[in-house]
Amino acid sequence: MNKIKLAILFGGKSDEYSVSLHSAAAIINNVPEELYDVTLIGITADGKWLHYEGSTDKINDDTWHQDELSPVLLSMDFKGLIKLNEKDSTFEKIEIDCIFPVLHGRNGEDGTIQGMCQMSGIPFVGCDMTSSAVCMDKEYTHIICEMAGIKTAPFMSAVNSKTLNIKDLYEKAFEKLSLPMFIKPANNGSSLGISKVRNYDEFEKGIMEAFEYDKKIVIESMIEGFEIGCAVVGNEELLIGEVDEIDTKNDFFDYVEKYSQHNSKIYCPARISDDLKAQAKEIAANTYKALGCSGLARVDMFVTPENKIYLNEINTIPGLTDLSRYPSMLKKIGIEYKDLIVKLVELAIE
Protein backbone atom coordinates (compact mmCIF):
# COMPACT_ATOMS: atom_id res chain seq x y z
CA MET A 1 0.00 0.00 0.00
CA ASN A 2 1.25 3.47 -0.87
CA LYS A 3 1.75 5.74 2.08
CA ILE A 4 -0.47 8.80 2.33
CA LYS A 5 1.48 12.01 1.77
CA LEU A 6 0.43 14.11 4.73
CA ALA A 7 1.33 17.78 5.21
CA ILE A 8 1.16 18.95 8.82
CA LEU A 9 0.89 22.72 9.31
CA PHE A 10 1.96 24.20 12.63
CA GLY A 11 2.49 27.62 14.25
CA GLY A 12 0.47 30.27 12.45
CA LYS A 13 -0.13 34.00 12.37
CA SER A 14 -2.30 33.83 15.45
CA ASP A 15 -2.36 34.77 19.13
CA GLU A 16 -2.47 31.01 19.72
CA TYR A 17 0.78 30.34 17.80
CA SER A 18 2.50 28.74 20.78
CA VAL A 19 -0.53 26.59 21.63
CA SER A 20 -0.30 25.19 18.10
CA LEU A 21 3.38 24.31 18.52
CA HIS A 22 2.54 21.93 21.37
CA SER A 23 -0.49 20.40 19.64
CA ALA A 24 1.52 19.84 16.45
CA ALA A 25 4.61 18.41 18.17
CA ALA A 26 2.43 15.79 19.89
CA ILE A 27 0.70 14.87 16.64
CA ILE A 28 3.99 14.63 14.73
CA ASN A 29 5.44 12.38 17.46
CA ASN A 30 2.45 10.05 17.19
CA VAL A 31 1.78 9.88 13.44
CA PRO A 32 2.14 6.20 12.42
CA GLU A 33 5.16 6.19 10.08
CA GLU A 34 4.02 3.03 8.35
CA LEU A 35 0.93 4.85 7.05
CA TYR A 36 2.14 8.35 6.26
CA ASP A 37 4.94 10.24 4.54
CA VAL A 38 4.93 13.45 6.51
CA THR A 39 5.92 16.91 5.26
CA LEU A 40 6.12 19.57 7.95
CA ILE A 41 5.21 23.15 7.19
CA GLY A 42 5.94 25.69 9.91
CA ILE A 43 4.08 28.97 9.70
CA THR A 44 5.92 31.75 11.52
CA ALA A 45 4.09 34.18 13.81
CA ASP A 46 4.27 36.73 10.97
CA GLY A 47 2.80 34.32 8.45
CA LYS A 48 5.71 32.87 6.43
CA TRP A 49 5.36 29.24 5.30
CA LEU A 50 8.60 27.26 5.70
CA HIS A 51 9.53 23.65 4.97
CA TYR A 52 10.83 22.16 8.24
CA GLU A 53 12.69 18.87 8.59
CA GLY A 54 14.05 19.10 12.14
CA SER A 55 13.02 17.66 15.50
CA THR A 56 9.79 18.18 17.41
CA ASP A 57 11.85 19.42 20.39
CA LYS A 58 12.61 22.55 18.41
CA ILE A 59 8.92 22.95 17.62
CA ASN A 60 8.03 22.60 21.29
CA ASP A 61 10.61 25.18 22.40
CA ASP A 62 9.92 27.47 19.41
CA THR A 63 13.44 27.40 17.98
CA TRP A 64 12.42 25.50 14.80
CA HIS A 65 12.57 28.67 12.67
CA GLN A 66 16.24 29.26 13.58
CA ASP A 67 17.25 26.53 11.09
CA GLU A 68 17.91 27.60 7.51
CA LEU A 69 14.54 26.84 5.93
CA SER A 70 13.11 27.16 2.45
CA PRO A 71 9.83 28.94 1.77
CA VAL A 72 6.94 26.84 0.48
CA LEU A 73 3.73 27.77 -1.30
CA LEU A 74 0.49 25.88 -1.62
CA SER A 75 0.11 25.06 -5.30
CA MET A 76 -3.05 26.00 -7.14
CA ASP A 77 -1.73 24.03 -10.12
CA PHE A 78 -1.05 20.45 -8.99
CA LYS A 79 -2.07 18.92 -5.64
CA GLY A 80 0.86 19.79 -3.45
CA LEU A 81 3.40 22.33 -2.34
CA ILE A 82 6.08 24.25 -4.20
CA LYS A 83 9.36 24.55 -2.32
CA LEU A 84 11.52 27.50 -3.35
CA ASN A 85 15.28 26.98 -3.29
CA GLU A 86 16.36 30.56 -2.95
CA LYS A 87 20.10 29.88 -3.38
CA ASP A 88 19.89 28.62 -6.95
CA SER A 89 16.46 30.01 -7.86
CA THR A 90 15.03 26.57 -8.52
CA PHE A 91 11.87 24.99 -7.16
CA GLU A 92 10.76 21.55 -6.13
CA LYS A 93 7.31 19.98 -6.26
CA ILE A 94 6.07 18.15 -3.14
CA GLU A 95 2.91 16.15 -3.84
CA ILE A 96 0.41 16.06 -0.97
CA ASP A 97 -2.68 13.85 -0.47
CA CYS A 98 -3.99 15.45 2.70
CA ILE A 99 -3.33 18.56 4.80
CA PHE A 100 -3.61 18.58 8.59
CA PRO A 101 -3.78 22.18 9.80
CA VAL A 102 -2.78 21.89 13.46
CA LEU A 103 -3.38 25.59 13.94
CA HIS A 104 -5.49 27.40 16.49
CA GLY A 105 -7.38 30.67 16.43
CA ARG A 106 -7.16 33.28 13.73
CA ASN A 107 -5.65 32.36 10.38
CA GLY A 108 -5.84 28.70 11.30
CA GLU A 109 -9.21 27.83 12.71
CA ASP A 110 -11.28 30.64 11.19
CA GLY A 111 -11.80 29.50 7.61
CA THR A 112 -8.87 31.33 6.04
CA ILE A 113 -6.54 28.31 5.70
CA GLN A 114 -9.56 26.10 5.03
CA GLY A 115 -10.52 28.32 2.07
CA MET A 116 -6.99 28.02 0.67
CA CYS A 117 -7.08 24.25 1.07
CA GLN A 118 -10.46 24.09 -0.67
CA MET A 119 -9.06 26.13 -3.57
CA SER A 120 -6.07 23.79 -3.83
CA GLY A 121 -8.35 20.75 -4.10
CA ILE A 122 -6.33 18.88 -1.47
CA PRO A 123 -8.43 17.17 1.24
CA PHE A 124 -7.80 18.60 4.71
CA VAL A 125 -8.57 17.62 8.29
CA GLY A 126 -11.45 19.42 9.98
CA CYS A 127 -14.36 21.68 9.18
CA ASP A 128 -14.71 23.44 5.84
CA MET A 129 -14.25 27.16 5.29
CA THR A 130 -17.79 28.27 6.08
CA SER A 131 -18.22 26.11 9.15
CA SER A 132 -14.80 27.12 10.52
CA ALA A 133 -15.64 30.79 10.01
CA VAL A 134 -19.02 30.67 11.73
CA CYS A 135 -17.71 28.60 14.64
CA MET A 136 -14.83 31.03 15.11
CA ASP A 137 -17.11 34.07 15.14
CA LYS A 138 -18.91 34.08 18.47
CA GLU A 139 -21.68 36.37 17.18
CA TYR A 140 -22.50 34.10 14.21
CA THR A 141 -22.37 31.05 16.47
CA HIS A 142 -25.02 32.69 18.67
CA ILE A 143 -27.22 33.63 15.70
CA ILE A 144 -27.13 30.18 14.09
CA CYS A 145 -27.70 28.41 17.39
CA GLU A 146 -30.66 30.66 18.13
CA MET A 147 -32.18 29.72 14.76
CA ALA A 148 -31.50 26.03 15.42
CA GLY A 149 -33.14 26.14 18.85
CA ILE A 150 -29.89 25.64 20.77
CA LYS A 151 -29.83 27.71 23.95
CA THR A 152 -26.95 30.18 24.39
CA ALA A 153 -26.38 33.07 26.82
CA PRO A 154 -28.30 36.28 26.09
CA PHE A 155 -25.91 38.43 24.05
CA MET A 156 -25.29 41.50 21.94
CA SER A 157 -22.45 42.59 19.70
CA ALA A 158 -20.68 45.85 18.91
CA VAL A 159 -18.23 47.00 16.27
CA ASN A 160 -15.39 49.41 16.98
CA SER A 161 -15.97 52.78 15.34
CA LYS A 162 -15.34 56.45 16.03
CA THR A 163 -19.03 56.95 16.80
CA LEU A 164 -19.28 54.13 19.35
CA ASN A 165 -20.40 55.55 22.69
CA ILE A 166 -19.38 53.21 25.50
CA LYS A 167 -21.81 54.77 28.01
CA ASP A 168 -24.76 54.14 25.64
CA LEU A 169 -23.53 50.63 24.97
CA TYR A 170 -23.32 49.97 28.70
CA GLU A 171 -26.90 51.15 29.25
CA LYS A 172 -28.20 48.91 26.46
CA ALA A 173 -26.15 45.96 27.68
CA PHE A 174 -27.20 46.49 31.30
CA GLU A 175 -30.87 46.54 30.30
CA LYS A 176 -30.66 43.46 28.09
CA LEU A 177 -28.03 41.37 29.88
CA SER A 178 -27.71 42.75 33.46
CA LEU A 179 -24.54 42.27 35.54
CA PRO A 180 -22.18 40.47 35.62
CA MET A 181 -21.39 40.23 31.92
CA PHE A 182 -18.65 38.66 29.83
CA ILE A 183 -17.00 40.73 27.10
CA LYS A 184 -15.14 38.88 24.36
CA PRO A 185 -13.45 39.58 21.05
CA ALA A 186 -15.79 37.99 18.46
CA ASN A 187 -12.91 36.07 16.90
CA ASN A 188 -10.27 34.64 19.20
CA GLY A 189 -9.57 31.80 21.56
CA SER A 190 -7.66 30.72 24.68
CA SER A 191 -9.65 33.33 26.67
CA LEU A 192 -7.44 36.12 25.26
CA GLY A 193 -9.11 39.54 25.53
CA ILE A 194 -12.01 38.18 27.64
CA SER A 195 -13.20 39.88 30.85
CA LYS A 196 -15.87 39.31 33.40
CA VAL A 197 -17.34 42.70 34.35
CA ARG A 198 -19.37 43.70 37.37
CA ASN A 199 -19.68 47.50 36.99
CA TYR A 200 -19.28 50.36 34.52
CA ASP A 201 -15.52 50.85 35.07
CA GLU A 202 -14.82 47.19 34.43
CA PHE A 203 -17.15 47.31 31.42
CA GLU A 204 -15.20 50.19 29.87
CA LYS A 205 -11.89 48.46 30.51
CA GLY A 206 -13.23 45.15 29.18
CA ILE A 207 -14.48 46.77 25.98
CA MET A 208 -11.11 48.40 25.33
CA GLU A 209 -9.29 45.14 25.99
CA ALA A 210 -11.52 43.08 23.70
CA PHE A 211 -11.10 45.65 20.92
CA GLU A 212 -7.35 45.07 21.07
CA TYR A 213 -8.01 41.61 19.62
CA ASP A 214 -10.87 42.22 17.18
CA LYS A 215 -12.91 45.04 15.69
CA LYS A 216 -16.08 43.21 16.71
CA ILE A 217 -16.92 42.15 20.26
CA VAL A 218 -19.63 40.04 21.86
CA ILE A 219 -21.15 40.86 25.25
CA GLU A 220 -22.97 38.09 27.12
CA SER A 221 -24.88 37.64 30.36
CA MET A 222 -22.88 35.55 32.78
CA ILE A 223 -24.21 32.01 32.97
CA GLU A 224 -23.96 30.76 36.52
CA GLY A 225 -22.64 27.27 37.05
CA PHE A 226 -19.68 25.49 35.48
CA GLU A 227 -18.36 24.63 32.03
CA ILE A 228 -18.41 21.21 30.39
CA GLY A 229 -17.10 20.04 27.02
CA CYS A 230 -17.85 17.23 24.64
CA ALA A 231 -15.72 15.84 21.80
CA VAL A 232 -17.35 15.10 18.46
CA VAL A 233 -15.68 13.25 15.55
CA GLY A 234 -17.16 12.46 12.16
CA ASN A 235 -18.68 13.69 8.94
CA GLU A 236 -22.19 12.28 8.65
CA GLU A 237 -21.97 9.53 11.24
CA LEU A 238 -20.84 11.03 14.52
CA LEU A 239 -18.85 9.58 17.39
CA ILE A 240 -19.49 11.43 20.63
CA GLY A 241 -16.79 11.38 23.27
CA GLU A 242 -17.10 11.51 27.04
CA VAL A 243 -18.28 14.78 28.62
CA ASP A 244 -15.67 16.55 30.74
CA GLU A 245 -15.96 19.28 33.35
CA ILE A 246 -13.86 22.29 34.27
CA ASP A 247 -13.64 23.01 37.96
CA THR A 248 -11.92 26.35 38.47
CA LYS A 249 -11.39 28.38 41.62
CA ASN A 250 -10.61 31.45 39.48
CA ASP A 251 -13.17 33.98 38.31
CA PHE A 252 -13.29 32.10 35.00
CA PHE A 253 -11.16 29.74 32.89
CA ASP A 254 -8.63 32.35 31.75
CA TYR A 255 -5.50 32.00 29.56
CA VAL A 256 -3.12 31.25 32.43
CA GLU A 257 -5.46 28.67 33.95
CA LYS A 258 -6.05 26.94 30.60
CA TYR A 259 -2.37 26.10 30.26
CA SER A 260 -1.19 25.94 33.89
CA GLN A 261 -4.27 24.66 35.72
CA HIS A 262 -2.94 25.93 39.07
CA ASN A 263 -6.44 26.64 40.38
CA SER A 264 -8.41 24.40 38.07
CA LYS A 265 -8.99 20.73 37.53
CA ILE A 266 -10.53 18.90 34.60
CA TYR A 267 -12.78 15.99 35.47
CA CYS A 268 -13.35 13.46 32.70
CA PRO A 269 -16.03 12.13 32.93
CA ALA A 270 -17.85 15.20 34.28
CA ARG A 271 -19.39 14.80 37.73
CA ILE A 272 -22.96 15.14 36.45
CA SER A 273 -25.88 12.71 36.22
CA ASP A 274 -26.15 10.27 33.31
CA ASP A 275 -29.26 12.06 32.19
CA LEU A 276 -27.49 15.43 32.04
CA LYS A 277 -24.55 13.82 30.24
CA ALA A 278 -26.90 12.39 27.64
CA GLN A 279 -28.45 15.83 27.16
CA ALA A 280 -25.00 17.40 26.77
CA LYS A 281 -24.04 14.83 24.12
CA GLU A 282 -27.24 15.49 22.22
CA ILE A 283 -26.67 19.26 22.31
CA ALA A 284 -23.07 18.71 21.17
CA ALA A 285 -24.21 16.64 18.18
CA ASN A 286 -27.00 19.08 17.29
CA THR A 287 -24.66 22.06 17.48
CA TYR A 288 -22.07 20.25 15.34
CA LYS A 289 -24.70 19.60 12.68
CA ALA A 290 -26.32 23.05 12.88
CA LEU A 291 -22.96 24.72 12.31
CA GLY A 292 -22.05 22.40 9.44
CA CYS A 293 -19.01 20.85 11.11
CA SER A 294 -17.06 17.92 9.71
CA GLY A 295 -14.02 16.00 10.93
CA LEU A 296 -13.80 17.20 14.49
CA ALA A 297 -14.89 19.80 17.02
CA ARG A 298 -15.08 20.26 20.77
CA VAL A 299 -18.40 21.66 21.90
CA ASP A 300 -18.27 23.66 25.14
CA MET A 301 -21.35 24.25 27.27
CA PHE A 302 -22.39 25.59 30.68
CA VAL A 303 -24.43 23.69 33.27
CA THR A 304 -26.47 25.93 35.59
CA PRO A 305 -27.38 25.18 39.22
CA GLU A 306 -30.87 24.28 37.87
CA ASN A 307 -29.25 21.67 35.57
CA LYS A 308 -29.99 23.64 32.40
CA ILE A 309 -27.40 23.41 29.63
CA TYR A 310 -26.34 26.42 27.54
CA LEU A 311 -24.00 26.22 24.58
CA ASN A 312 -20.86 28.33 25.13
CA GLU A 313 -18.81 27.85 21.97
CA ILE A 314 -17.54 25.33 19.48
CA ASN A 315 -13.82 24.85 18.81
CA THR A 316 -13.12 23.43 15.36
CA ILE A 317 -9.42 22.81 16.08
CA PRO A 318 -9.33 22.23 19.84
CA GLY A 319 -6.08 21.66 21.75
CA LEU A 320 -4.63 18.45 20.34
CA THR A 321 -1.71 17.39 22.51
CA ASP A 322 -2.04 13.81 23.79
CA LEU A 323 -3.05 15.26 27.18
CA SER A 324 -5.51 17.85 25.86
CA ARG A 325 -9.20 17.70 26.67
CA TYR A 326 -10.41 16.62 23.22
CA PRO A 327 -8.23 13.49 22.88
CA SER A 328 -8.85 12.65 26.56
CA MET A 329 -12.62 12.64 26.04
CA LEU A 330 -12.21 10.25 23.10
CA LYS A 331 -9.79 8.01 24.97
CA LYS A 332 -12.59 7.41 27.46
CA ILE A 333 -14.71 5.86 24.71
CA GLY A 334 -11.83 3.70 23.49
CA ILE A 335 -10.24 5.87 20.79
CA GLU A 336 -6.50 6.05 21.45
CA TYR A 337 -4.54 9.15 20.41
CA LYS A 338 -2.75 7.47 17.50
CA ASP A 339 -6.03 6.01 16.20
CA LEU A 340 -7.63 9.44 16.45
CA ILE A 341 -4.98 10.90 14.12
CA VAL A 342 -5.62 8.11 11.60
CA LYS A 343 -9.38 8.57 11.90
CA LEU A 344 -9.14 12.33 11.29
CA VAL A 345 -7.07 11.83 8.13
CA GLU A 346 -9.51 9.15 6.92
CA LEU A 347 -12.44 11.52 7.48
CA ALA A 348 -10.64 14.25 5.53
CA ILE A 349 -10.01 11.96 2.56
CA GLU A 350 -13.55 10.50 2.72
Ligand X SMILES: Nc1ncnc2c1ncn2[C@@H]1O[C@H](COP(=O)(O)OP(=O)(O)O)[C@@H](O)[C@H]1O
Instruction: Kindly indicate which of the ranges 66-74, 106-114, 117-125, 180-188 contains the residues binding ligand X, using the contact rule CB under 6 A.
Output: 180-188
Q: Report the nearest approach of ligand X to the CB of residue 18 (Å).
A: 15
Instruction: Kindly indicate which of the ranges 14-22, 51-59, 189-197, 285-293 contains the residues binding ligand X, using the contact rule CB under 6 A.
Output: 189-197
> Is 184 an interacting residue with respect to ligand X (CB under 6 A)?
yes
Name the residue nearer to ligand X (CB basis): 39 or 152: 152
Name the residue nearer to ligand X (CB basis): 82 or 143: 143
**Residues 102-161 interacting with ligand X (rule: CB under 6 A):** 153
> Is 252 an interacting residue with respect to ligand X (CB under 6 A)?
yes
Name the residue nearer to ligand X (CB basis): 131 or 190: 190
User: For the chain, what is the HEC assignment?
Assistant: CCCEEEEEEEECCCCCHHHHHHHHHHHHHHCCCCCEEEEEEEECCCCCEEEECCCCHHHHCCCHHHCCCEEEEECCCCCEEEEEECCCCEEEEEECCEEEECCCCCCCCCCHHHHHHHHHCCCECCCCHHHHHHHHEHHHHHHHHHHCCCCECCEEEEECCCCCCHHHHHHHHHHHHCCCEEEEECECCCCCCCEEECCHHHHHHHHHHHHCCCCEEEEEECCCCEEEEEEEEECCCEEEEEEEEEEECCCCCCHHHHHHCCCEEEECCCCCCHHHHHHHHHHHHHHHHHCCCCEEEEEEEEECCCCCEEEEEEECCCCCCCCCHHHHHHHCCCCCHHHHHHHHHHHHHC
Name the residue nearer to ligand X (CB basis): 29 or 191: 191
- Binding residue for ligand X, selected from 23, 120, 132, 190, defined by CB under 6 A: 190
Neighbouring-strand partners of residue 266: 246
Q: Report the nearest approach of ligand X to the CB of residue 169 (Å).
A: 17
Residue 36 CB: number of other CB atoms within 10 A?
Answer: 19
Q: Report the nearest approach of ligand X to the CB of residue 72 (Å).
A: 30
- Binding residue for ligand X, selected from 203, 253, 288, 337, defined by CB under 6 A: 253
Instruction: Kindly indicate which of the ranges 23-31, 53-61, 170-178, 190-198 contains the residues binding ligand X, using the contact rule CB under 6 A.
Output: 190-198
- Binding residue for ligand X, selected from 194, 207, 280, 330, defined by CB under 6 A: 194
- Binding residue for ligand X, selected from 38, 166, 208, 222, defined by CB under 6 A: 222
> Is 312 an interacting residue with respect to ligand X (CB under 6 A)?
yes
- Binding residue for ligand X, selected from 207, 217, 223, 340, defined by CB under 6 A: 223
> Is 232 an interacting residue with respect to ligand X (CB under 6 A)?
no
- Binding residue for ligand X, selected from 60, 118, 160, 191, defined by CB under 6 A: 191
Q: Report the nearest approach of ligand X to the CB of residue 48 (Å).
A: 26
Residue 297 near residue 135 (C-beta atoms within 8 A): yes
Query: Which residues are at the interface with ligand X (CB under 6 A)?
Result: 153, 182, 184, 188-191, 194, 220, 222-223, 227, 252-253, 300, 312-313
